[in-house]
């Protein structure tokens, strides 16, 4: 095939030939199917060796009168080609965008992101803290709190821990450096000092629970150096173990959200109670879970007993007039039992994935009426 485009003499350009060239270029522009083809047409017409550029290069060899006439015609043709190129480029870009949008569709039915006000999670320990507070408050208990840093007297002596007791050893307790008088402050090993402070500051009847952080030199799958306890204390003139059993029974039913819990009380020893008891509840152990209120297994969950007369005396109460009972349990431990957590240490790791799995939404407020964990 031969190129049928007109061959223009460099010295003289006929208007019909220029018009034919312009028409041919405009036709090529209109036929360009994409931006690459359009760029090829532009280079062929306006590039350094393009047909229109070649005509513009001949103007220097023409006489002034001819340059004036034919230069104007060539520039008009160049302007027409430039405008056509720009218009066609806009059309091709719009078509390419439409094709891309059609190929990359967006599913507008996807759910919206969770509002920031609901994106956070309440830590399971905070949730369980609120759960047990709601249960005991419904029974008429007040909440008592005390400092994490305690004296040896409140943490041990007034609780009937004699000198030389193993709990006073350095490897069991976090002690601060000795003061000038030789005394040492320590991180409390239980929340029992709050019971001491309550008995020293209030007159019976006393009904309080003492939740809070406690510290011991211990770390493994079921122990951490810092953990949480809740202890209860009742002091009155007629308190007895029957009252204690009923309180613990009702608490376990409400907390584990079951209709019935069978409990077993076993003799034990604690310096601050006499008699002392450990409490087991009936359960069924499965491969990945524990169910309460059924089965033939038993699980220890807390220790309790009648407050030792020596403790009452140390706190300024007459043991011949008043008697009471106390109990204590680990908040972390009962949280693990209720919500199926495998490792106590995970409660203290900063893993947002774990918190998203086990955590509670901010508006999931525990209530006895609506179900604690509903």
- Write out the binding residues for Mg(2+): 274
In 3D space, the residue among 275, 295, 270, 271 whose CA is nearest the CA of residue 283 turns out to be: 295
**CA angle (289, 293, 298) in 5-degree steps:** 70
Spatial contact of 144 and 210, defined as CB atoms under 8 Å apart: yes
Spatial contact of 209 and 220, defined as CB atoms under 8 Å apart: no
In 3D space, the residue among 41, 63, 62 whose CA is nearest the CA of residue 52 turns out to be: 41
Q: Binding site residues, as ranges? A: 274
Cis peptide before 205 (omega within 30 of 0): yes
Show Cβ contacts of residue 319 under 8 Å, excluding neighbours closer than 6 positions: 309, 312, 313
**Cα-based distances in Å from 184 to 53, 157, 162, 173:** 97, 13, 16, 11
Q: How far apart are CA 265 and CA 344, in angstroms?
A: 25
Diameter over CA atoms, the chain: 135
3-state SS assignment for residue 83: helix
Q: How far apart are CA 67 and CA 277, in angstroms?
A: 117
């Amino acid at each position: 095939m031969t190129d049928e485009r007109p061959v223009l003499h460099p010295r003289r350009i006929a208007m019909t030939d220029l018009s034919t060239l312009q028409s041919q270029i405009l036709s090529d522009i209109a036929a360009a199917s994409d931006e690459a083809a359009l760029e090829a047409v532009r280079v062929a017409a306006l590039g350094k060796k393009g047909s229109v550029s070649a005509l513009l290069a001949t103007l220097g060899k023409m006489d002034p009168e001819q340059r004036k006439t034919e230069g104007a015609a060539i520039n008009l043709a160049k302007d027409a080609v430039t405008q056509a190129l720009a218009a066609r480029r806009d059309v091709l870009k719009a078509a390419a965008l439409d094709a891309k949008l059609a190929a990359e569709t967006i599913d507008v039915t996807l759910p919206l992101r969770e509002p920031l006000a609901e994106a956070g999670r309440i830590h399971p320990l905070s949730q369980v803290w609120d759960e047990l507070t709601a249960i005991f408050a419904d029974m008429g208990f007040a909440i008592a709190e005390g400092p994490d840093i305690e004296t040896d007297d409140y943490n041990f002596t007034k609780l009937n821990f004699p000198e030389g007791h193993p709990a006073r050893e350095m490897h069991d307790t976090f002690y601060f450096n000795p003061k000038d008088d030789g005394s040492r402050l320590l991180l409390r090993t239980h929340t029992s000092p709050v019971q001491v402070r309550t008995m020293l500051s209030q007159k019976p009847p006393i009904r309080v629970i003492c939740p809070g952080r406690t510290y011991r030199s211990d770390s493994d799958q079921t122990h951490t150096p810092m953990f949480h306890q809740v202890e209860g204390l009742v002091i009155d003139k007629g308190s007895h173990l029957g009252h204690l059993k009923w309180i613990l029974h009702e608490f376990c039913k409400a907390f584990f959200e079951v209709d019935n819990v069978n409990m077993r009380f076993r003799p034990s020893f604690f310096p601050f109670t006499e008699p002392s008891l450990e409490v087991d509840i009936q359960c069924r152990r499965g491969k990945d879970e524990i169910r309460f209120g059924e089965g033939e297994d038993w699980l220890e969950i807390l220790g309790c007993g009648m407050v030792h007369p020596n403790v009452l005396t140390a706190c300024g109460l007459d043991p011949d007039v008043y008697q009471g009972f106390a109990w204590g349990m680990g908040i972390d431990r009962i949280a693990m039992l209720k919500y199926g957590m495998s490792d106590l240490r995970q409660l203290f790791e900063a893993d947002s994935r774990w918190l998203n799995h086990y955590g509670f939404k901010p508006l999931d407020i525990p209530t006895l009426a609506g179900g604690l964990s509903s």
